[in-house]
Chain A
Amino acid sequence: MNISSILFYAISALILGAGVLAVTSVKIFRAAIWLLFSLIGIAALYFWMQVEFIAAIQIVVYVGGIVVLIIFSIFLTQNSGKEMNSPTMGKKIFSAMAALFGIAFVGNLIAQYEGFAYPSAKPFDPNVAEIGTQMLSTTSHGFILPFEVVSMLLLAAMVGCIVIAMRPKNDTENISLNNNETK
């Protein structure tokens, strides 16, 4: 039991503990903050696996982007200090049973391969230059096509978000009409 394995179990405990609190907390804002801690723990796990680039992306996109977006939408849509309706006891019990069964089933499958793979002797140090070269390479191991497709997807998502969240035009006219009437 060296320091590295202790670090791994500490990070795992952080991820799972914060994850459990994120799905069970009755205050929605606290749930968002626990999700934030869980995502930071996952970034720490990536650092522990020495894939620093993925860890940086995880922090920038999830912690800096998605969680902030979720917190904004909580502020926009509800009273953040209010407690949410707790699910019924029957639903809680059956969901917990389903989740525990899933963990036991998949865990049992994984346990058959206990000690299956330790890190290979070959060093694994993906540097950013290599990732960038392969991402834009047009050879058979390159990822230029998914890269372009995903850029189209992001553009479509951006335009789609604006269209969906935009207030319909006649709606704003009605509101300004009402405002004028009240004046």
Chain B
Amino acid sequence: MMQEIPLTHILFVSTALFFIGMYGLFTRRNLITMLMSIELMLNSVNINFVAFNKYLFPDNLEGLFFTLFIITIAAAEAAVAIAIIINLYRSHHSIDVEDATEMKY
């Protein structure tokens, strides 16, 4: 089982996923889609943690714990971000970042 896939191929996948998330963060101007891009980037990091744990340190479980804590914090972060987005929508009637300019300059 899975003897043929070296660690580097998994790292290629997570690298590509990270930069796809970065592209989304640069091009999107809608707060919800920017949050979605951040979720993709966090997930690519999780893949790395699990892959390194499995391939290099099969005796330990540290990578799995890091993944678990990152997932927990990502959930808390998404909840707070969506509360802020809903509050912003209530005051600006838009969740476009270009429309929230009170603190610009």
A residues near B (Cβ < 8 Å) are 1-2, 4-5, 8, 12, 15-16, 19-20, 22-24, 28, 31-32, 35, 38-39, 42, 45-46, 48-51, 53-54, 57-58, 61-62, 65-66, 69-70, 72-74, 76-78, 84-85, 87, 91-92, 94-96, 98-100, 102-103, 106-107, 110-111, 113-120, 122-124, 126, 130-131, 134-135, 141, 143, 146, 150, 153-154, 157-158, 160-162, 164-165, 167
Contacts and interface: CB of A to CB of B under 8 A. Distances in A.
Contacts of A84: 29-30, 33
Contacts, number: 234
A23 B3 contact: no
B103 interface: no
A12 B10 CA distance: 9
Given A49-B51, A77-B85, A92-B27, 18 more contacts: A4-B4, A5-B2, A5-B4, A5-B5, A23-B23, A28-B32, A31-B36, A32-B36, A61-B71, A77-B95, A98-B26, A99-B22, A134-B61, A134-B65, A157-B79, A157-B80, A161-B80, A165-B86
A20 B18 CA distance: 11
A44 B36 CA distance: 19
Interface string B65-100: 101110111111111101111110110000110000
6 contacts: A5-B5, A16-B20, A69-B78, A76-B86, A77-B86, A146-B65
A85 B29 contact: yes
A12 B43 CA distance: 13
Interface string B21-39: 1111011111011011101
Contacts of A150: 69, 72-73
B28 A87 contact: yes
A4 to B, nearest CB: 5
Contacts of B2: 4-5, 8, 48-49, 119
A102 B22 contact: yes
B20 A126 contact: no
Nearest to B88: A77
